């Protein structure tokens, strides 16, 4: 049977669901992660990340004996590398995790194996990974030197799933398959066809790398356009959400939504991979990043103005007596992920600079993370509505969207998502 054993290196937001889905198709899956704690949790049939329904799939895979986690790579027929690719200072991509993953699997590679890089990567990363593998295993041949006759097949197949919908999108999305040679692509397709119902479209590794970066940059540029419009409209006294709704009635216009900034681990990161490779050419992509990165400061200024206006309207109060509620801390609606979140960054800034009380309402968490604990209190929605003067709406969580508008009309509101406007 082809691919009797599959190994997934990196058991995070992409690797763990991918490992679990292969296991649910009755493949023997070895998950590898450097984090012993994550490995222990998975081997108990539990999960260390938040993703709807993933707990059930992992639990079934582990108890039925198809998924096992370890910190040490073991021989397998296919290796999928799904480790983080962050950037360093100056937005230069950091391939250290790919390098150490490659070096860790190299000793267990054997003739006929397939190695797939799934991590979002700058153009050229797959070739770099192939070079690291070849250096570590001079006894094996690789596509960069032996083309279609190589012992090891290598491809870049970027993940494209939306956090919160990972299990569905893994199966249904089309997949870009960037083999280093046509045979590499062919083998990669036969692996993904184990569970992918979408189309597997073949290209080369460099185009596949650029394709993933292009998708996220496209979204970033579109959101930057929306964010710039929101600042222009604010100057001109126009409701930007109404404006975008109207413009989107045009059959060939589709503008995304403005917000307090762009967060997460993908859209705000991946465009820099293009900019750092081609700084002269990537003018628009860089500017979009800068526009989106500047949006939290713009919101913070709006909050300062709101406090001043509130004090003018309530001269008996001092700034110390003004309570600000930040609605939402997550990086996008209806998730509990506060990492790389503009909402969390704005809240933290207000907490540090506002002399009065700052509270947060985040229905998706029970406790504030360590970095936000200082001077910030976590309130229920009801308590916040009773006890605060200014509401800064930062995330369009369903709990806020369904709020009766009458309950907030007595507050001074800064609505960065346009849900109450
Ligand atoms: N955002 C806006 N306005 C919008 C849409 C999003 O301000 O109209 C903000 C969100 O609030 C959030 C940020 O953008 O802060 C990113 O959220 P997202 O939902 O756009 O994207 P991610 O980061 O959760 O997932 C993206 C997806 N990419 C695309 O849709 C092109 C996903 O398919 C990718 O797999 C993922 O990046 C990834 O892993 O690269």
- Domain residue extents for the chain: 5-198, 217-415
Q: Is the CB of 161 under 6 A from ligand 1?
A: yes
Predicted confidence at residue 405, as pLDDT, reads 81
- What is d(CA 105, CA 76) in angstroms, rounded to the nearest whole number? 10
Ligand 1 atom nearest to CA at 261: 7
Predicted confidence at residue 1, as pLDDT, reads 59
Q: Is the CB of 334 under 6 A from ligand 1?
A: no
What is the topology classification, in CATH, of domain 5-198? Rossmann fold (3.40.50)
What is the topology classification, in CATH, of domain 217-415? Rossmann fold (3.40.50)
What is the set of active-site residues?
212, 266
Predicted confidence at residue 409, as pLDDT, reads 83
Name the stretches of the chain with pLDDT < 70.
1
Predicted confidence at residue 335, as pLDDT, reads 86
Predicted confidence at residue 49, as pLDDT, reads 87
Do 5-198 and 217-415 fold alike per CATH?
Answer: yes
- What is d(CA 24, CA 67) in angstroms, rounded to the nearest whole number? 9
Task: Write the DSSP symbol of residue 366.
Answer: S
Q: Is the CB of 223 under 6 A from ligand 1?
A: yes
Q: Is the CB of 257 under 6 A from ligand 1?
A: yes
Ligand 1 atom nearest to CA at 160: 35
What's the 299 CA to ligand 1 centre distance in angstroms?
A: 20
Q: Is the CB of 120 under 6 A from ligand 1?
A: yes
Which candidate, 105, 48, 47, 42, places its Cα nearest to that of 68? 42
Residue identifier of the C-alpha nearest atom 1 of ligand 1: 262
What's the 220 CA to ligand 1 centre distance in angstroms?
A: 8
Ligand 1 atom nearest to CA at 120: 40
What's the 168 CA to ligand 1 centre distance in angstroms?
A: 16
Query: How far from 270 is each of 5, 31, 297, 311, 315, CA to CA, in Å?
Result: 31, 25, 22, 42, 48
Predicted confidence at residue 339, as pLDDT, reads 87
Predicted confidence at residue 164, as pLDDT, reads 86
């Amino acid at each position: 049977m082809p691919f009797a054993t599959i190994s997934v290196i990196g058991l995070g937001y992409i690797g763990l669901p991918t490992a679990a889905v292969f296991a649910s198709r009755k493949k023997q899956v070895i998950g590898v992660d450097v984090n012993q704690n994550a490995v222990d949790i998975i081997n108990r049939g539990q999960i260390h990340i938040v993703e709807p329904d993933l707990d059930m799939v992992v639990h079934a895979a582990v108890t039925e004996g198809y998924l096992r986690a370890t910190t040490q790579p073991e021989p397998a027929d296919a290796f999928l590398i799904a480790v983080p690719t962050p950037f360093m200072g100056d937005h230069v991509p950091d391939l250290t995790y790919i390098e150490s993953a490659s070096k860790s699997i190299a000793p267990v590679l054997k003739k006929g194996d397939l190695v797939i890089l799934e991590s979002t990567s700058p153009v050229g990363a797959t070739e770099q990974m192939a070079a690291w593998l070849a250096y570590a295993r001079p006894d094996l041949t690789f596509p960069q030197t032996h083309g279609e006759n190589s012992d090891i097949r290598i491809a870049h197949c970027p993940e494209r799933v939306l956090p919160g919908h990972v299990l569905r999108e893994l199966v249904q999305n089309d997949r870009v398959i960037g083999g280093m040679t046509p045979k590499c692509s062919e083998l990669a397709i036969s692996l993904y066809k184990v569970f992918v119902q979408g189309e597997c479209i073949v290209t080369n590794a460099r185009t596949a790398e650029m394709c993933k970066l292009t998708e996220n940059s496209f979204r970033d540029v579109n959101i930057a356009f929306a964010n710039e419009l929101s600042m222009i409209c604010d100057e001109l006294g126009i409701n930007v959400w109404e404006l975008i709704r109207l413009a989107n009635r045009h059959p060939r216009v589709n503008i995304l939504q403005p917000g307090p900034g762009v967060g997460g681990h993908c859209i705000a990161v991946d465009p820099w991979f293009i900019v750092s490779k081609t700084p002269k050419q990537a003018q628009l992509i860089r500017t979009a990043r800068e526009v989106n990165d500047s949006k939290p400061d713009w919101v913070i200024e709006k909050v300062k103005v709101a406090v001043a206006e509130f004090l003018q309207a309530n001269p008996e109060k001092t700034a110390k007596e003004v309570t600000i509620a930040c609605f939402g801390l997550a990086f996008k609606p209806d998730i509990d992920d506060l990492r790389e979140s503009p909402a969390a960054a704005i809240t933290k800034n207000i907490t540090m600079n506002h002399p009065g009380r700052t509270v947060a309402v985040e229905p998706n968490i029970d406790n504030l993370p360590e970095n936000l604990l200082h001077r910030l209190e976590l309130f229920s929605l009801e308590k916040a509505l009773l006890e605060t003067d200014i509401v800064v709406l930062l995330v369009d969580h369903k709990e806020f969207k369904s709020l009766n508008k009458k309950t907030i009309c007595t507050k001074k509101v800064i609505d960065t998502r346009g849900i109450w406007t």
